Chains A and B, each alone.
Chain A
Amino acid sequence: MQYLPNIIFAIALVFGIGFFIKNVKKLSRNIKLGRDVTVNDNKPQRWKNMAKIALGQTKMVVRPIAGLLHIIVYVGFVIINIEVLEIIIDGLLGTHRIFAFLGSFYDVLIGSFEVLAFLVIVAVVVFWIRRNAIRLQRFIKPEMDGWPKNDGNLILYIEVVLMFLFLTMNAADFQLQQLGAAHYQQAGAFPISQFIAPLFDGMSIESLVLVERTAWWLHILGILFFLNYLYYSKHLHILLAFPNTYYGRLKPQGQFNNVEAVTNEVKLMLDPSADPFAAPAEDAGEPEKFGASDVMDLNWVQLLNAYTCTECGRCTSECPANQTGKKLSPRKIMMDTRDRLEEVGKNMDTNKGVFVPDGKQLLDDYITKEELWACTTCNACVQACPVSIDPLSIIVEMRRYLVMEQSAAPTELNNMMSNIENNGAPWPYNQMDRLNWVNE
C-alpha cells in the first residue's frame, strides 16, 4: 500500500496529459480544415519574430502598465514550471524535494519562485480590478458579455488559487522543517511563505503534514486542470502565441494576397487566342469558390490566429470604426471565427469525423455584412495585436465572397466599380480627359 500515492499520482498525470493531448489533436484537426497555404519563406526572420514578439513580449509593452503586469505573470508562469518538474518527479518517485541536493542554488530557485508567485498574485489582482472595478472600455464591449467575461475572470481566479496553494505548501513545509519532522529536510528559502507560516503555529506535525500534502496535491491537480482548461478557454495563447508569431505576416501590411484562381481566369479573359466558348476540361472539377463565407474557406493560418486570440481587445480599441460607434470589432471577428470553427469541429465529432452541413456559416450567422463593410483596411488592428493576429485578412476574404460570389456590395460601391470597368476611374469621367488637369 505504500506505493498508493505514487500510483494515484501517475494515473492523474497520465489522465491529465492524455486528455490534453486528445484536445490538441482536435485543435490541430480543426486548424487543418482551413485552406492550404505555404508559409516557409525567410525562416530566420520568422524565428526572430517568434523570439522577439512571443518570447520577448515586445508588442505587449506598447501599453506599459498591462505590458509590465503581463510580463510578471508570463515570467512567473515559465519559471515556476521548473518547480512543477520537481513536483512531478517527487510525485512519481515518492521523494520529497528531490532537487534539494542543489544546495544553495536550490534556495535561490525556491526563493525566486516565491517572489514571483507573490508578484503574480499582485498582477492578477490588478488585472481583476482593471476588468471588474475600473471596467476598462475594451473589456466591456458587447462581444465580451457572458462566457468571455467569465472566462477571463475564471483564469485569474485559477491563477491566484494556484499561487496560494504553492505558497501554503511551502509555508507548511517551512514549519515542518523548523520542527525537524521526518522526511522534511532543511531545503529551500521561503522569503514569502515565512510570513504565512506563523498561521500554523502550535499545529501538530500530523496536521502540518496534512496541510502540506493537501496543498501539494491540490496544486499539481490544479495545474493539470488548468492545462486542460486551456482548450475550452481563450487562454490557449500561452502556447499558440509561439507558432502564431512564427507564421505571422512578413510582407508589408498593405500587401494583400492576389487570388491565384482569379489570376488564371483574368489571364484567359485577356488572352486574344483563348476560345471563349470552349467547354471546360473534363477534369476541371468544381470551380473554386472565391472568398470566404465559412471557416473552411479561410486558410489554416487564419484559423490558427482565431485559436490564438486571447480577447485582449487591443485591436478593437485601436479600430477607427469601433471608436466611432460602428458595429465592427476586429476582436469579435476572431472570436466568431473560433466559435464557428469549434461548432464545425463538434459537428464532426458527433458525425464520425465528417462535417454534416448544419445550415449555418460564418457569414451572417456570426459576422454580419454591416461589420464587414465598416472596415477601412487601415491595419490598426494588425499593428496592435501583441501576437501577430491578422483580423483584416479575414474581413477582406469575406468581402471577396460578398462581391465575387454574391454581388452583394453596397450600391455606391457597385457604382464605383462599374465606373472603373467602363472608364478606368472610380468616378464617371472620360478616360480621354485624364490629362486635363495640366492646363486647368
Chain B
Amino acid sequence: MSEALRVKTMEEFVAQGAQPEILFWVGSAGSYDDRAKKISRAFVKILNKANVDFAVLGAEESCTGDVAKRAGNEFLFQMQAMMNIEVLNTYGITRIVTCDPHSFNTLKNEYPSLGGNYDVVHHTEFIKELMDNGRLSLEGKVYKEKRITFHDPCYLGRANAVYDAPRDILRKTNATIVEMKRHKKTALCCGAGGAQMFKEPEKGDMDINVLRTKDALETNPNIIATGCPYCNTMMTDGIKAHEKEDSITVLDVAELIANSI
C-alpha cells in the first residue's frame, strides 16, 4: 500500500493519557493470515480517511478462543476469554470493532457473562455508521460497471441478524448488487465455521465451499464480496476449483470501500 497507515496501540494511548474512540480488534486471521492482513490494512485505510481515533491491542491481543469453543474446548475458550477481558477491562475499553464475524459474535454474545461487557460492532456496521454520520464518503467510480454478490457470513447473518449493513454500504460503490438464490437467513455456509477451517472435511462427495461458490457463480458476478476472513479464503479456493480465478475476484467489503474512496 502506497501511503503509510496510522495505527496506535492502547499502550501508546495510555502513555499520552488519552482514550480512543474505538478499539479495532484485529483478530488472529487479520494479524497473521496473508490474505486477511490486506483486509486489516484496507479497514485501517478507511479509519484513517474518516479520522477515526482508534487503537489496537497489538501484542496484547490474543485469540478470542472462539474457534476452541466451537471445537468443544470450553476450557481453552474461557481461559482466552478471561485473559482478554482482563486486558480490555484494565484499559477501560467500551467499544470494539472487528472485521471477523467470529470474534464479533463471541465478544458480543459470549464475553458478557464472563465479565466482558462492550459495545461490539462488525466493521460493515461501523463503516455504515461513518457514512451515515457524514464522516466518510465515496467517489464510487471504480466498481460502477461491476456486478457484486454478497456472501453472508453465518456468524454475522444468521447468528446475529446483521444483513443490511454490508449491503447498504456496498450500494454506495455504485456497483450492481445481485443476490444469490440462498441469501440472508437461508445463506449456505462457506464451510469454514465450527473449526472446519483448521481441519480436513469429513468424507463426502463435494467440498462445501465449492457448492457455495456455485451459488455465487449463478449470479454471474465480477466480484464476490464477503465480510469474513475465513469466508474469503473458502470462496477464493472455491473460485479456483471452478477455474474462474481469472474472471472473478473475492474481496472483503472493507477492500471494496477502501478502493472506492
Q: Which residues of A contact B (CB under 8 A)?
A: 251-256, 258-259, 262-263, 265-267, 269-270, 290-291, 318, 320-321, 323-328, 370, 373-380, 382-383, 396, 398-404, 409-410, 412-413, 415-417, 420-421, 424-427, 429, 431-438, 440
* B188 within 8 A of partner (CB): yes
In the complex, are the beta carbons of A412 and B200 less than 8 A apart?
yes
* B65 within 8 A of partner (CB): yes
Contacts of A290 in B (CB 8 A): 74
In the complex, are the beta carbons of B158 and A404 less than 8 A apart?
no
> What residue of chain A has the Cβ atom nearest to residue B158's Cβ?
A379
* B9 within 8 A of partner (CB): yes
In the complex, are the beta carbons of B73 and A404 less than 8 A apart?
yes
* B196 within 8 A of partner (CB): yes
Contacts of B185 in A (CB 8 A): 383
Given A373-B202, A420-B63, A431-B62, is A255 in contact with B105 using a C-beta cutoff of 8 Å?
A: yes
Contacts of B28 in A (CB 8 A): 424-427
* B165 within 8 A of partner (CB): no
* B26 within 8 A of partner (CB): yes
Contacts of B79 in A (CB 8 A): 266, 269-270
In the complex, are the beta carbons of B158 and A253 less than 8 A apart?
yes
Contacting A at CB under 8 A, from B20-36, are 26, 28, 30-33
Q: Which of B5, B75, B109, B189 contacts A251 (CB 8 A)?
A: B109
Contacts of B63 in A (CB 8 A): 420, 424-426
A383-B185, A417-B73, A429-B31 known; 15 new pairs, CB 8 Å cut-off, are: A262-B78, A376-B191, A376-B194, A379-B158, A382-B158, A383-B158, A409-B72, A413-B195, A420-B65, A425-B31, A426-B67, A431-B59, A435-B9, A437-B31, A438-B44
Contacts of B193 in A (CB 8 A): 376-378
Given A320-B191, A376-B191, A425-B31, is A416 in contact with B198 using a C-beta cutoff of 8 Å?
A: yes
In the complex, are the beta carbons of A259 and B74 less than 8 A apart?
yes
Smallest beta-carbon distance A233→chain B, Å: 29
Contacts of B204 in A (CB 8 A): 321, 324-326, 374
In the complex, are the beta carbons of B198 and A412 less than 8 A apart?
yes
Smallest beta-carbon distance A107→chain B, Å: 45
Contacts of B206 in A (CB 8 A): 324-325
In the complex, are the beta carbons of B59 and A432 less than 8 A apart?
yes
0/1 per residue, B201-238, Cβ < 8 Å to A?
11111111001100000000000000000000000000
The contact sample of 29 A-B pairs, CB cut-off 8 A, is A251-B109, A252-B105, A254-B154, A259-B74, A259-B78, A263-B114, A266-B78, A267-B82, A320-B208, A320-B211, A324-B205, A328-B202, A370-B202, A376-B191, A376-B194, A377-B154, A378-B194, A379-B158, A380-B158, A401-B72, A404-B74, A410-B199, A412-B198, A415-B198, A420-B67, A424-B28, A427-B28, A434-B32, A437-B37
Smallest beta-carbon distance A101→chain B, Å: 50
> What residue of chain A has the Cβ atom nearest to residue B72's Cβ?
A399
> In the complex, what distance in Å separates the CA atom of A427 from the CA atom of B154?
22
In the complex, are the beta carbons of A262 and B191 less than 8 A apart?
no
* B110 within 8 A of partner (CB): yes
Contacts of A375 in B (CB 8 A): 194
Contacting A at CB under 8 A, from B49-98, are 56-59, 61-63, 65, 67-76, 78-80, 82-83
> In the complex, what distance in Å separates the CA atom of A438 from the CA atom of B114?
31
> What residue of chain B has the Cβ atom nearest to residue A266's Cβ?
B78
Contacts of A427 in B (CB 8 A): 28, 32-33
In the complex, are the beta carbons of B154 and A378 less than 8 A apart?
yes
Given A251-B109, A396-B70, A410-B199, is A438 in contact with B194 using a C-beta cutoff of 8 Å?
A: no
Contacts of B159 in A (CB 8 A): 252-255, 379
* B241 within 8 A of partner (CB): no
> What residue of chain A has the Cβ atom nearest to residue B36's Cβ?
A437
Contacts of B68 in A (CB 8 A): 416-417, 420
Given A379-B159, A380-B189, A420-B76, is A440 in contact with B37 using a C-beta cutoff of 8 Å?
A: yes
In the complex, are the beta carbons of A324 and B71 less than 8 A apart?
no
Contacts of A377 in B (CB 8 A): 70, 154, 193-194
> What residue of chain A has the Cβ atom nearest to residue B30's Cβ?
A437
Q: Which of B73, B76, B202 contacts A321 (CB 8 A)?
A: B202
Contacts of B200 in A (CB 8 A): 412
Smallest beta-carbon distance A78→chain B, Å: 28
In the complex, are the beta carbons of A417 and B71 less than 8 A apart?
yes
In the complex, are the beta carbons of B74 and A416 less than 8 A apart?
no
Contacts of A426 in B (CB 8 A): 28, 63, 67, 198
Contacts of B155 in A (CB 8 A): 254
Contacts of A424 in B (CB 8 A): 28, 61-63, 80
Smallest beta-carbon distance A163→chain B, Å: 34
> In the complex, what distance in Å separates the CA atom of A136 from the CA atom of B113?
44
> In the complex, what distance in Å separates the CA atom of A246 from the CA atom of B82?
33
Q: Which of A252, A263, A291, A376 contacts B72 (CB 8 A)?
A: A291
> In the complex, what distance in Å separates the CA atom of A396 from the CA atom of B66?
13
In the complex, are the beta carbons of B32 and A429 less than 8 A apart?
yes
> In the complex, what distance in Å separates the CA atom of A383 from the CA atom of B32?
33
Contacts of B67 in A (CB 8 A): 416, 420, 426
Given A253-B158, A255-B105, A258-B114, is A324 in contact with B32 using a C-beta cutoff of 8 Å?
A: no
> In the complex, what distance in Å separates the CA atom of A119 from the CA atom of B207?
43
* B128 within 8 A of partner (CB): no
In the complex, are the beta carbons of B161 and A258 less than 8 A apart?
no
> What residue of chain B has the Cβ atom nearest to residue A323's Cβ?
B211
In the complex, are the beta carbons of A413 and B71 less than 8 A apart?
yes
* B261 within 8 A of partner (CB): no
> In the complex, what distance in Å separates the CA atom of A383 from the CA atom of B189?
13
Smallest beta-carbon distance A305→chain B, Å: 18
In the complex, are the beta carbons of B72 and A403 less than 8 A apart?
yes
Contacts of A438 in B (CB 8 A): 5, 7, 41, 44
Q: Which of A256, A267, A412, A420 contacts B80 (CB 8 A)?
A: A420
Contacting A at CB under 8 A, from B231-251, are none
> In the complex, what distance in Å separates the CA atom of A375 from the CA atom of B32?
26
Given A378-B189, A440-B37, is A254 in contact with B198 using a C-beta cutoff of 8 Å?
A: no
Contacts of B71 in A (CB 8 A): 399, 403, 409, 413, 416-417
Contacts of B80 in A (CB 8 A): 420, 424
> In the complex, what distance in Å separates the CA atom of A404 from the CA atom of B70?
13
